Amino acid sequence: MTGSELQGYRLSLHMSVIDFLSVAERGSERAYRKWEAGDHPVPDDIAKKMLSLVAEYNQRVRHTLASGYIRTWDEAKDIFPNRAVWRVNNAAVSAQNIKKGLQTSEFGSIL
């Protein structure tokens, strides 16, 4: 994995460097910045951790789209890592429903 790919994945997951490092349980912010900048190669275990987070995110997106709109954060907090990701997923469900011709009132509103 290149540094640019690592950064792109992290940003697409709405994670800060510190957030990722706490999940990865390895590395310093300085080292991470060097990986993203391409100054040092991305370690294999870091690349694998990032790809596992991306896979988990994609699974959650599929689950959300299959199960539909999740109205409240209390319902969503065990499924999504943060409110921003939950809102993005609800927006995706809303867009799909609009595309299918459903009225907004039939599936709720984005909180």
Whether the predicted pLDDT of 100 surpasses 80: no
Mean pLDDT of 78-95: 77
Separation between Cα atoms, residue 31 and residue 37, nearest integer Å: 10
List pLDDT tens digits, range 21-41: 988 888 899 999 999 999 999
List pLDDT tens digits, range 44-54: 999 999 998 88
Whether the predicted pLDDT of 61 surpasses 80: no
Inter-CA distances, 66 with 1, 2, 60, 97, 101, Å: 31, 33, 10, 12, 17
User: Higher confidence at residue 25 or residue 87?
Assistant: 25
Confidence tier at 13 by pLDDT (50, 70, 90): confident
